[in-house]
Amino acid sequence: MFLYMIDDKLTNKKKQLDSYRPLPEALLRNLDEWFRVELTYTSNALEGNTLTRRKTALVVEKGLTIGGKTLIEHLEATNHAHALDWVKEQIKCKPQTLCEKDILLIHDIILKGIDDSNAGHYSNVPVRISGSAVVLPNPHKVPELMEGFAEWLKDSQDFHPVELAAEAHYRLVTIHPFVDGNGRTARLLMNMILLMRGYPAAIIRKRDRLAYISALEKAQLGGSKDDYVKIIMKAVDRSLDIYLKAAQGETTSYEDDSKLLKIGDLAQQVGMRNSTIRHWTKQGLLEVAEITDTGYQLYAPEMIDRIKQIHILKEQRLTLHEIKDYIQGIR
């Protein structure tokens, strides 16, 4: 598998967090409320839901209706929040006790009122991932594959918690057992496993959508899982930092996706030409966080620091290929 990739840093941060437990009830409640909204917002945003973080909070916490948004988008928000509530109720159990019934129940909650005929049921028609070359299993094989998946979970005692959560997510989306809601169900399953093992939930940010999808597809097409595992590890690491800072009495600022930068804005902030930014992006030195409907490439603010790092490495006479290898090695 990929146990060798699980950084000791995650295990050590988990031990550090455990030293602060039990956390004050008010602090736990505040963290739970924030994660409930953030996990709902990000997981739905990855699938195309257009509710912003703030509007997701209004729907989930206040039960408000947002003008101009569809009923389905509202239901996706409330359903995910309810599914997460159910997941939290199971955290005293062990991952090895999870079964098909649990996965079907999560999916049933996710699609309740959206697609009741398919909610909580495996697909019986061929499904394709739009824009992907990945060939999904024949629907007739799905029950057998899911039975095998459940058996694998029962025999997973030797896995590191992050490894188990990441692999369970990967296996479920690769089986792709449902007509819709596979990604949301897989991320909830992943986070249920993490919570059961005392880790905070992993948030796959909206800005990481392209990298996340590309990494999954790369592995599903027979390539390395390394990029995918790094994304999950970084997500867990960010969540551990949030909990640790809260436990230590520090405040944490959460960056909004509205701060993503167009190529011209990024170039201006670092004093470079757009053409150089495009070239470095094409070479794999910079990562595009999002592409708008009109085709604009958007970059996360951390690419400013990445560019500064590239300049330092260039001064050390490293080639762009060597810089790319260096950057990918530390991501």
> Which residues, 6 or more positions from 282, have their beta carbon under 8 angstroms from its beta carbon?
none
Q: Is the pLDDT of residue 144 over 70?
A: yes
- Model confidence over 52-72: pLDDT tens digits? 888 999 999 999 999 999 999
Would you state the torsion angle of the CA atoms of residues 235, 240, 245, 247, taken in this order, to the nearest 10 degrees? 150
Give the residue, 65 or 8, on which the prediction is more confident.
Answer: 65
Q: Which of 223, 120, 112, 233 is nearest to 169 (CA)?
A: 233
User: Which are the catalytic amino acids?
Assistant: 176
Edge-to-edge strand list for the sheet holding 290-291: 261-262, 297-299, 290-291
Give residue 251's pLDDT.
67
Q: Is the pLDDT of residue 317 over 80?
A: yes
Over residues 191-213, the mean pLDDT reads 93
**Distance separating alpha carbons of residues 220 and 216, to the nearest angstrom:** 6
Neighbour tally for 318: CB within 10 Å: 15
Q: Is the pLDDT of residue 116 over 60?
A: yes
The answer to whether domain 260-330 has CATH 1.10.1660.10 is yes
Maximum distance among all alpha carbons in the chain? 61
Tell me the percentage of the chain whose pLDDT exceeds 90: 73
Q: Which of 18-22, 32-36, 117-121, 304-308 comes out lowest in average pLDDT?
A: 304-308
- Model confidence over 87-99: pLDDT tens digits? 999 999 999 999 9
**Distance separating alpha carbons of residues 140 and 6, to the nearest angstrom:** 35
How is the chain split into domains, by residue range? 3-247, 260-330
> Which residues, 6 or more positions from 192, have their beta carbon under 8 angstroms from its beta carbon?
87, 90, 91, 95, 98, 106
Q: Tell me the pLDDT band of 330, cut-offs 50, 70 and 90.
A: very low
Q: What is the mean pLDDT of the chain?
A: 91
- Model confidence over 244-264: pLDDT tens digits? 999 999 865 555 555 789 999
The answer to whether domain 3-247 has CATH 1.10.3290.10 is yes
Q: Tell me the pLDDT band of 328, cut-offs 50, 70 and 90.
A: low
Copy the structure tokens of residue 1. Answer: 């598998």
Which SS3 state, helix, strand or coil, does residue 291 take? strand
Contact 223, 160 (CB under 8 A): no
Q: Is the pLDDT of residue 331 over 70?
A: no
Q: Which of 55-64, 112-121, 148-157, 294-303 comes out lowest in average pLDDT?
A: 294-303
Copy the structure tokens of residue 155. Answer: 């025999």
Fold match between domain 3-247 and domain 260-330: no
Q: Which of 140, 129, 237, 243 is nearest to 186 (CA)?
A: 129
Name the H helices within 224-273: 226-247, 263-270
**Distance separating alpha carbons of residues 146 and 151, to the nearest angstrom:** 9
Helix H or strand E segment including 164 = helix 161-175
pTM of the model: 0.80
Q: Is the pLDDT of residue 293 over 70?
A: no
Over residues 133-160, the mean pLDDT reads 93
* DSSP letter assigned to residue 140: G
Over residues 161-179, the mean pLDDT reads 97
